[in-house]
Amino acid sequence: MNTAGHPEATARRGLELTPFRGLRYDPDRVGSLAAVTSPPYDVVVRPDGLHHLQDSDPHNIVRLILPQADTPAVRNEQAARTLHRWLSEGVLTTDTDPGLYVYEQRDGAGMLQRGVIGALRVSEPSEGLVLPHEDVMPHVVADRADLMRATSANLEPLLLTYRGNGTAADTSSVIERTIEGPPLLATTTEDGFSHRLWSITDPADLDRIQSDLARRQALIADGHHRWATYRRLRAEHGSPSAWDYGLVLLVDTARYPLRVRAIHRLLHGVPVPDALAALDGLFRVRRLEVPLAAALETLADAACVGNAFLIAGDGAFHLVDQPDADLLARTVPADRPTAWRTLDATVLHATLLAHVWHVPEDDPTRIAYIHDTAATVDKAERDGGTAVLMHPVREDVVRDLARQGVTMPRKSTSFGPKPASGLVLRALDL
């Protein structure tokens, strides 16, 4: 009997995390480990951040995750050649024994995150094991799939969360014991985060983690497009194959809560006066002559009451709130839960982008999705576009919608801290 869709059967099956032979930089062959790392591919602010990372070290991981060339095919071929050259030169080396990896991030403000990196069995949403909470853009999935095919590698881990029972049992106990030993690597990146990595190869520890996670369900915190890419490539290659698994970082947020931040929008070719004029009579608009930090506080206060956004790009901030009820009734789909219909991201995409500004949400020539608030404002002012700043969604809202099978509009949340790319990779043909 096929019980994949049965809740009790799904709960018993749970997550299947397997050891792998990590591919890591040889610290003797690079300037520094910090200099070869990068934020995830979709967090790098191009072109400024890309150029900075490329210049930091000739072996920076950005040359693999964001290769630069005139066409997509040439970019992917270039990434594959670069990866193979680094392997042949010993810049990247493969760990002798397969294992799972404990990964720790810490900043100077008390933020501490620990989790386990491994190869997770790829599953479909219908199995209820790995829950997406955002829609994806098909062209981004296609781009990531082309890159993974060319390199035959998972170049950076996704960030997944699960909810343990808040005790130091099972996976947590293995993590806490493992970090008492010397790490495989330790480095501090320019954002002030320290990173440490340990390997777990002891069969008893691996079994304990796998048994614990077999009872868990995960939420995709960061990496929806890469998870969709894993699913596509698994379907292409068939089972069994190395493509049945994908590289992930699993964090128990009962012990290590994540930060949830917003992802902002930059509207290309839409000057702020035009964006504001289109809102006349549809939203309340107030000009704020205050610094960014104070504007964000005002946004937070307004978001507690209803839908609210900040518009920037002309040297000031404009609070946009109190949408017309009839406008929302006409534009927001009524066949979803109230929690979804009242999201700022829903109103932004269904109402503002689609019906007020007429900006396609998946056209990179018309809109960009940027994680850094100040960078979004700076680029809008420099390019003559419009920055739309968002207030973050609470994690419990995200998780509740995901459990109902309801996905939020794309790029609705930014969970963090995100794992640094370049600390451990997974080659599928090794």
Taking only the tens place, the pLDDT of each residue in 235-289 is 999 989 999 999 999 999 889 988 888 999 999 999 999 999 999 999 999 999 9
The 3-class secondary structure across 73-107, one letter per residue, is HHHHHHHHHHHHHHHHHCCEEECCCCEEEEEEEEC
What is the per-residue pLDDT for 167? 65
Domain annotation for the chain: domains and CATH numbers: 17-259+417-427 (3.90.1530.10), 264-411 (no CATH)
What is the per-residue pLDDT for 293? 97
Residue from 244, 251, 239, 201 nearest 100 by CA: 201
Output phi, psi for 96, to 5 deg. Answer: -65, -45
Query: How far is it, in rounded angstroms, from Cα 258 to Cα 252?
Result: 9
Tokens representing 266?
Answer: 């930059």
CA dihedral 336, 342, 348, 351 (to 10 degrees): 70
What average pLDDT does the structure give for the chain? Answer: 92
Residue 33 has pLDDT above 60, yes or no: yes
Q: Tell me if residue 14 falls in helix, strand or coil.
A: coil
Query: How far is it, in rounded angstroms, from Cα 393 to Cα 406?
Result: 15
Query: How far is it, in rounded angstroms, from Cα 304 to Cα 300?
Result: 6
The answer to whether the CB of 17 falls within 8 A of the CB of 210 is: yes
Tokens 């130091």 correspond to what residue? 168
What is the per-residue pLDDT for 6? 35
pTM for the whole thing?
0.82
The answer to whether the CB of 98 falls within 8 A of the CB of 21 is: yes
Judged on CB neighbours under 10 Å (0-12, 13-18, 19+), 180 is: exposed
pLDDT digits (tens, 9 = 90+) for 153-163: 999 999 999 98
The answer to whether the CB of 127 falls within 8 A of the CB of 120 is: no
Query: How far is it, in rounded angstroms, from Cα 295 to Cα 385?
Result: 19
Reported as type and span, the H/E element at residue 311 is strand 308-312
Mean pLDDT value of segment 98-124: 95
